[in-house]
Amino acid sequence: MNNPAVSYRVYDPKRFKFQDMLRGTGYVNRHFDWIAFAYDRLLGPPRTDKLVRLLNLPVRGRLLDAGGGTGRASAALHPFVDDVVVTDISLPMLRQGRKRNGMTTVLARTEELPFPDEVFERVVVVDALHHFSTQRAALAELARVLRPGGRLLIEEPDLKRPAVKVVAVLEKLLLMESHFITPEGIAQELSRTGLSVLPIRHDFRFRAWIAADKPVSLS
Ligand SMILES: C[S@@+](CC[C@H](N)C(=O)[O-])C[C@H]1O[C@@H](n2cnc3c(N)ncnc32)[C@H](O)[C@@H]1O
């Protein structure tokens, strides 16, 4: 699992500005680079109990935390799997994660993961799907790297909650290029990948969890 990712600057005539590109195809949103040093303190601890339950842990094998940033959410999952791999497009976010023991970090867009098919027993995406520039391609990649019989879990702010609508507007104003979709929309996109979607869970305040299993017969 070497890291083949490189970022460089190109001029985008459609946007009239220079952009950072990763591996020749994707724009890199730099907002998280700037707040990486304080990110874990700003966000606070993850809902580990919920993640453990909904990911049906413990399990033998690898867990992928895509758009995992500093590894804030998956660091606590390490005791429940053999290995945790965190991928992200922000090097400063990953560098914070590297300070943690036992975590493999890889600079990569979720839309083009540098892994073979079906190598992860579990895949988790926490608060990151709305930041991915091409969500359909990202979900297809996540389904591709998931082992048959494995589970993918997405935790996202629930767009139907008023507080999340405010966050969505703020992120627009901050030019973060976020694209929020409803939990039902995520479930629909996931079923297009061939995964079996489980009933959606909500905390009825801010978050929703969408889990899906890869059928053993699907390859
Ligand atoms: C709100 S943070 C969440 C980080 C982590 N999952 C957590 O819960 O602490 C969103 C992360 O998604 C990353 N990101 C945005 N677009 C991405 C993409 N296309 N592929 C991989 N990571 C991406 C950002 O760099 C950032 O670290």
pLDDT in tens, the chain (219 residues): 333 445 555 555 655 655 555 544 455 567 888 899 999 999 999 999 999 999 999 999 999 999 999 999 999 999 999 999 999 998 889 999 887 777 899 999 999 999 999 999 999 999 999 999 889 999 999 999 999 999 999 999 998 888 888 888 888 777 777 888 999 999 999 999 999 999 999 997 899 999 999 999 755
| Any ligand 1 atom below 6 A from CB of 141 | no
Can you point out the beta strands (E) in the chain? 7-12, 17-22, 26-27, 62-66, 83-88, 103-107, 120-126, 146-157, 196-197, 201-202, 207-213
The CATH number assigned to the domain holding 113 equals: 3.40.50.150
**Domain presence at residue 2:** no
Q: How far is the centre of ligand 1, averaged over its atoms, from the C-alpha of 74 (Å)?
A: 13
- Expressed in angstroms and rounded, the spacing between residue 134 Cα and the centre of ligand 1 is 13
Answer whether residue 84 is part of any domain: yes
Length of the chain: 219
Given ligand 1 and candidates 32, 64, 106, which is best to mutate, with the most ligand atoms within 8 Å of its CB?
32
Q: Cβ of 169: how many Cβ atoms within 10 Å?
A: 10
Return the closest-CA partner of residue 66 out of 153, 8, 192.
153
List alpha helices for 24-158, DSSP H.
31-35, 39-43, 48-54, 91-98, 135-145
Domain count, the chain: 1
Report the nearest-CA residue for atom 16 of ligand 1. Answer: 132
* Ligand 1 and 207: CB distance under 6 A: no
Q: Could you tell me if residue 9 is inside a domain?
A: no
114 assigned to some structural domain: yes
22 belongs to a structural domain = no
| Strand bridging mode 146-157 / 207-213 | antiparallel
16 in any annotated domain: no
The residue among 28, 75, 210 whose CA lies nearest residue 85 is: 75
With a threshold of 0.85, does the pTM exceed it? yes
Range of the domain at 141: 33-213
Q: Kindly state if the Cβ of 88 falls inside 6 Å of ligand 1.
A: yes
Query: Is the bond into 58 cis (omega within 30 degrees of 0)?
Result: yes
